Chains A and B, each alone.
Chain A
Amino acid sequence: MWRKSNEVKPSEQPHGARSEESAKAPALQSPPLAPSSFAPTAGPAPASSNLSRIGSGLKIQGEVSGDSDLYIDGDVRGKVQLTNSRVTVGPNGRVQAEIEARQICVEGTVQGDLRASESAQLGASSRVRGNVLSPRIGVADGAQLSGKIETTKSPALETPERENHRETVGAKLESTDQ
């Protein structure tokens, strides 16, 4: 199991995983959004020195957690839990894991649930097999999704323990989920 620390030093990273200035990262930008008008837009990542990258050719199996934004262009299996950060799955990224993050942008392939406390974007080349749970969900033309789409009103991420407190856009209190 591989747990990433908050600050990843380049010298400590395995080959293919490196921290880099965001200007080089092809991450998706997150616009201010309304649920009904939400549309994913691609663009350069905002300036941030807190971006880690799993490059293509790198395979990781286990749990990824921490506070930095993450760009995945390699293979990840297990669990990705970056609840206060943004996770971007690049066009070459292949993820077999549940992803929990503040923002999730997908241009690659994901098999697993996406839980975003702020927004989830499925790009045109995205292939997602799993459920998408987020207050704001954007779907680009060409995206492929097999799973449930559920908007959650609460900004806090849902966990199984809090499943009974889930609210939908219609402000309906949900007690169970199928």
Chain B
Amino acid sequence: MNWTAKPRLTAASGAAPAKPGPTNSSVAAPNCRVSNGLKEFLWLISDVPRCRVLDLGPVWQSTVSFFVDKGYRVSSEDLLRAWKDFLTTEEERLRTAAVGNTGEKLSPSALAEKFLQTSLQYPEQSHHGVLVWDLLDYFDPVAVPPLVDRLSRLVHPGGVVLALFHSRAAERFHRYRIVDAQTIELIPAPTLAVHAHVFQNRELLGLFEQFRSSKSFVGRDQVREAIFVK
């Protein structure tokens, strides 16, 4: 993967924000963190006309307002909650299945495929930016590759994905929302799923091999913010 300069999706004119760079502080305030990944993400999509952003976390007013005020279009899909609801439905289906009908049980990869039949249903290349947050850490590792594959298809060429990865099992479950152009807030939340996997660098490069470049920032809290550019 290349650690390339900013790819230009268009030749649109307009003042772009300052080129982001690592900052010394990784924590701005309690439950907030200065996010170099977010700065990079915003910089990469800053000159895209009619930019479309997909937020895979829960919908928050601050995040919506942040993008809407910029004239962006926002889609929101709480992917982890949808996954949990899907698994609950599947368990219920198994419970009510005929006794002895073991063929009903799906493998993790089949579960992922079935999940994706109803989730992340967006046209190909329809979004210029995707906020994945740390969701991939909470999915069954077998389910992650098809999910990333789906992500890669819905991202516009030159589009960017921001994902967070924990270097060790997360101590508690958080949701994320944007406070400003360089700050994200961690919202403690009831555990929706247990931390399933710690991704190593090599795994991430393999997962996102369809993306042409990547960049990551590691904060003091050992959370890696990764940027993948398609």
Interface of chain A residues 132 through 178 with chain B (CB within 8 A): 137-141, 143-151, 168-172, 174, 178
Known pairs A146-B82, A149-B73; A137 contacts B68 (CB<8 A): yes
The reply to whether the CB of B70 lies closer than 8 angstroms to some CB of chain A is yes
Q: Which of A147, A149, A171, A174 has the most CB of B within 10 A?
A: A149
Q: Contacts A139-B59, A139-B61, A144-B58 known; list 5 others, CB within 8 Å.
A: A36-B69, A38-B65, A145-B78, A146-B78, A168-B50
User: Are A144 and B123 closer than 8 Å at their CB atoms?
Assistant: no
Interface of chain B residues 127 through 161 with chain A (CB within 8 A): none
Known pairs A144-B81, A170-B71, A172-B49; A149 contacts B64 (CB<8 A): yes
Known pairs A145-B59, A174-B50, A178-B123; A137 contacts B64 (CB<8 A): yes
Contact flags B42-71 to A (C-beta < 8 A → 1, else 0): 000000011010000011110011001111
Within 8 Å CB of B65, what residues of A? 35-38
User: Are B71 and A172 closer than 8 Å at their CB atoms?
Assistant: yes
Within 8 Å CB of A178, what residues of B? 52, 123, 126
User: Are B61 and A146 closer than 8 Å at their CB atoms?
Assistant: no
The reply to whether the CB of B77 lies closer than 8 angstroms to some CB of chain A is yes
Closest to A143 in B: B59
- Please count how many residues in chain A sit with their CB below 8 Å of the partner chain's CB atoms: 27
- Chain B nearest CB, measured from A112 CB (Å): 15
The reply to whether the CB of A17 lies closer than 8 angstroms to some CB of chain B is no
Within 8 Å CB of A146, what residues of B? 76-78, 82
- Please count how many residues in chain B sit with their CB below 8 Å of the partner chain's CB atoms: 24
Q: Which of A37, A138, A145 has the most CB of B within 10 A?
A: A145
CB within 8 A of A36: which of B50, B68, B75?
Answer: B68
Within 8 Å CB of B226, what residues of A? none
Binding site for A on B (CB under 8 A): 49-50, 52, 58-61, 64-65, 68-78, 81-82, 123, 126
Q: Which of B73, B77, B81, B126 has the most CB of A within 10 A?
A: B73
Across the A-B interface, give the 9 residue pairs with the lowest CB-CB distance, nearest first.
Answer: A170-B71, A145-B59, A139-B61, A148-B75, A149-B74, A36-B65, A146-B77, A145-B76, A36-B69
Q: Which of B49, B68, B78, B82 has the most CB of A within 10 A?
A: B68
11 A–B pairs (Cβ distance < 8 Å), ordered by A: A38-B65, A140-B61, A143-B58, A147-B75, A148-B73, A148-B76, A149-B75, A150-B74, A151-B68, A172-B49, A178-B52
Closest to B78 in A: A144
User: Are A147 and B68 closer than 8 Å at their CB atoms?
Assistant: no
Within 8 Å CB of A140, what residues of B? 61
- Chain B nearest CB, measured from A165 CB (Å): 15
Known pairs A35-B68, A36-B68, A174-B50; A138 contacts B61 (CB<8 A): yes
A161 to B60: give the CA distance in the assembly, Å: 31
Within 8 Å CB of B61, what residues of A? 38-39, 138-141
- Chain B nearest CB, measured from A93 CB (Å): 19
A148 to B67: give the CA distance in the assembly, Å: 12
CB within 8 A of B59: which of A38, A39, A122, A172?
Answer: A122
Known pairs A144-B78, A148-B75, A149-B75; A170 contacts B70 (CB<8 A): yes
A14 to B82: give the CA distance in the assembly, Å: 37
